[in-house]
Structure 1
Amino acid sequence: MRTTAGNRRALPRAAVIAAAVLVASPLTAPGAAPALAATSADGFASVSALGQNGTTGGAGGAVVTATTPAQFLDYISRSGPLVVQVKGTITLPTGSSDGMHDVSSDKTVIGLGTDARLVGGGLNIGLPVDDDVTSPPANAVHNVIIRNLSISGATDDLINVQMFSHHIWIDHNDFSNGDDGAVDIKRGSDFVTVSWNRFHDHDKTLLLGHDDDNGAQDIGRLRVTYHHNYFDGSDQRNPRVRFGESVHVYNNYYRDNSYGVASAMNAGVVLEGNYFYSVNNPGRVDFSGDLGRMVQRDNILVDCNHEIETRGSVVEPRTYYAYTLHRAAEVPTVVPAGAGVGRI
């Protein structure tokens, strides 16, 4: 049965709701192994804009290895390009920052092996909050890559991106047990890709746009790609979107969530090629605040209680970048096999 716009009636358990597959040519054979991890940013993080040609992180800078909190905090705060390798477990202090620690521009923060961990604190990518700033400042934090890290137990967010930060790539990480958001993106941030991460044992997962009254900073920005993420029992906000357009959510695997994607405050979301298993509300535009917009295609819903709500039209992501989809039926195999740490 095809999903229909605005239809919120409950579906029988064990029902399978699949939108028609409209991909013009085969992408991968059923059961095929996942593709090798990308070596460079894709999605919105790859777009040339705001004086930045894609996202390269610390490329061209020195390579350093952090094994202690003092080393780590020193390296991520330095000016200029730097590749910061994380070895083993680093426990971040709470102190006066509520456990949030600033990452400066032109940084790659990458875990070594399969056991690199940040615990007890989170990463902040962005200038201090200032409601009076309504356009990107010249010193906005930009060009940051976070990869191959397990981040857990923060007293606030695990990662927070704010204040017009742009060209951020968050890829192949494991996120769990934060007190607030896992990855929050807000206050005019732009050109971000969140890819191949596993989210589990967490409630409020992905916030995109923090407040219904923040249109002055957010309208025309918050362009984010979410692809090939494993929402493994993460309860809600996968993501919860305000204002952003285009927001591209594709080839993600949702398992046992209260809701998948919510679009509000006239946000524009393209939802395609995802697999939803046991998700109460896979996609919503009638949520809270003003209605959002959502275009859906090629998604598969299994044991879900509601259909995907759709409304209006959305600027297509292909306006900005090219991408290749897996078939939605492959997602439950491909995404758990490739998402998280130790897969790059």
Structure 2
Amino acid sequence: MHRRTLLAAAAGAVVAPAVAGRPAVAAPSGPDGFATVAGYGRATTTGGAGGPVVTVSTAAALLDHISRPGPYVVQVSGTITLPRGANDGMHPVTSDKTIIGLGSTAALVGGGLNIGLPVTSATTPPAGAVNNVIIRNLRFSGASDDLINVQMFSHHIWIDHNDFSDGDDGAVDIKRGSDLVTVSWNRFHDHDKTLLLGHDDDNGAQDAGRLRVTYHHNYFDGSDQRHPRVRFAPVVHVYNNYFRDNSYGIASTNDAGLFVEGNYFYSVNNPGRVDFSGPLGRMVQRDNILVDCNHAIEVRGTVTDPRTFYAYTADPASSVPTIVPAGAGVGKV
């Protein structure tokens, strides 16, 4: 039997005027959240700004330009099928790139993007760590591994207004010392292991003190689990996301600190967990709404308020089921 819990939503957010019964949702022109926080010699995330703008419609052209040195804005036209090859369909992206779909039909199918150097046992950021990458307005599906993987101390990454489905492993995995990332306004559906943050329970030497990520205004549309599942991260900000029909929402372990704010959980068995698998995590929650959920959000410990790092305005949680489906995904940039 379902348990119905309603918690008061925050007031004071500015809501755009309605058009034809739906709110007008303007896509952001630039990143926000942790992707804008200075660190590792960068002030913020700009992607390929200032570099050549190219339009690609074949796998060969795409893979050529996203792996070149220097800034590029790579516009994807139509559907591109990525080759599997010896790398299980995971293709490298180098620093200073914007990869953006044109219109509402741009798609990458059959493979995924790898943002990060090859895996080593290094415990400090190596020279040449991949950084300053923007991925927007693309449909990702059908990968035999991850749809997007961020690894090996990569930083200043913005993943915004994409559609993720039907990957064999993670939709967006962030791990192995990566840091200062924002994942915003994406739709996740028909997928199992959605968002992994932190490699495994034995990888604290790389991950502890890093993995600072903002997840906001994402639509977890029947995706099953890991929204996100977090290890070691000191501060992770999860706000204004819409969780619908998931087995669980958020899990915090290995002393990770999650600040969970202004989200709307509908028919989610376990909205937020700190007693999950491995060492306990930390979780603070405020102004969330739970409807037809079987459990409350588990809370434990303290977490630094994200406003310590950046300014933001949270929408009222009550508006999330309207504004997030209307604004998340492709064709809205």
**TM superposition score normalised by structure 1:** 0.94
> Residue 59 of structure 1 is aligned with which of 39, 44, 49?
49
Residue 329 of structure 1 corresponds to 318
The one-letter amino acid paired with 1:28 is V
Counterpart CA distance in 2 for 1:317 and 1:281 is 24
Cα displacement string for residues 109-143 of structure 1 (whole angstroms, at most 9, x for unaligned residues)? 00000000000000000000001x11111210000
Judge conservation of contact 2:67–2:93 (CA < 8 Å) in 1. yes
> Residue 73 of structure 1 is aligned with which of 60, 63, 74?
63
| Aligned ranges 1:192-341 → 2 under 5 Å | 192-341=181-330
The one-letter amino acid paired with 2:67 is S
Residue 50 of structure 1 corresponds to 40
Judge conservation of contact 1:128–1:163 (CA < 8 Å) in 2. yes
Residue 16 of structure 1 corresponds to 4
The one-letter amino acid paired with 2:55 is T
Residue 110 of structure 2 corresponds to 120
Judge conservation of contact 2:137–2:162 (CA < 8 Å) in 1. yes
CA displacement at 1:53 relative to structure 2:
1.3
Judge conservation of contact 1:108–1:146 (CA < 8 Å) in 2. yes
Judge conservation of contact 2:13–2:314 (CA < 8 Å) in 1. no
Counterpart CA distance in 2 for 1:65 and 1:276 is 39
**What percent identity do the matched residue pairs reach?**
73
Superposition misfits of 4+ residues, deviation over 4 angstroms = 29-32
> Residue 165 of structure 2 is aligned with which of 176, 201, 218?
176
> Residue 29 of structure 2 is aligned with which of 32, 39, 42?
39
CA displacement at 1:59 relative to structure 2:
0.1
- Runs of 5+ in structure 2 lacking a partner? none
What's the secondary structure of 1:145's corresponding residue? Answer: strand
Counterpart CA distance in 1 for 2:4 and 2:278 is 30
Cα displacement string for residues 4-63 of structure 1 (whole angstroms, at most 9, x for unaligned residues)? xxxxxxxx52x431233454x343279771431111110000111111111000000000
**1:27 and 2:14 aligned:** yes
The one-letter amino acid paired with 2:6 is A
Residue 8 of structure 1 corresponds to none
Judge conservation of contact 1:228–1:251 (CA < 8 Å) in 2. yes
What's the secondary structure of 1:280's corresponding residue? Answer: strand
The one-letter amino acid paired with 1:343 is K
Relative to structure 1, the CA distance from residue 34 to residue 287 in structure 2 (aligned partners, 3 Å threshold; closer, same or farther) is farther
Residue 147 of structure 1 corresponds to 136
Judge conservation of contact 1:184–1:207 (CA < 8 Å) in 2. yes
What's the secondary structure of 2:54's corresponding residue? Answer: strand
What's the secondary structure of 1:255's corresponding residue? Answer: strand
Residue 127 of structure 2 corresponds to 138
> Residue 73 of structure 2 is aligned with which of 68, 77, 83?
83
Which has the higher mean CA deviation after the structures are superposed, 32-41 or 283-292? 32-41
Residue 343 of structure 1 corresponds to 332
Residue 110 of structure 1 corresponds to 100
Counterpart CA distance in 1 for 2:195 and 2:90 is 17
CA displacement at 1:316 relative to structure 2:
1.3
Relative to structure 1, the CA distance from residue 126 to residue 303 in structure 2 (aligned partners, 3 Å threshold; closer, same or farther) is same
Counterpart CA distance in 2 for 1:51 and 1:36 is 31
Counterpart CA distance in 2 for 1:52 and 1:188 is 16
The one-letter amino acid paired with 1:44 is F
Output the aligned Cα RMSD: 1.2
Judge conservation of contact 1:146–1:170 (CA < 8 Å) in 2. yes
What's the secondary structure of 2:31's corresponding residue? Answer: coil
Counterpart CA distance in 1 for 2:36 and 2:329 is 21
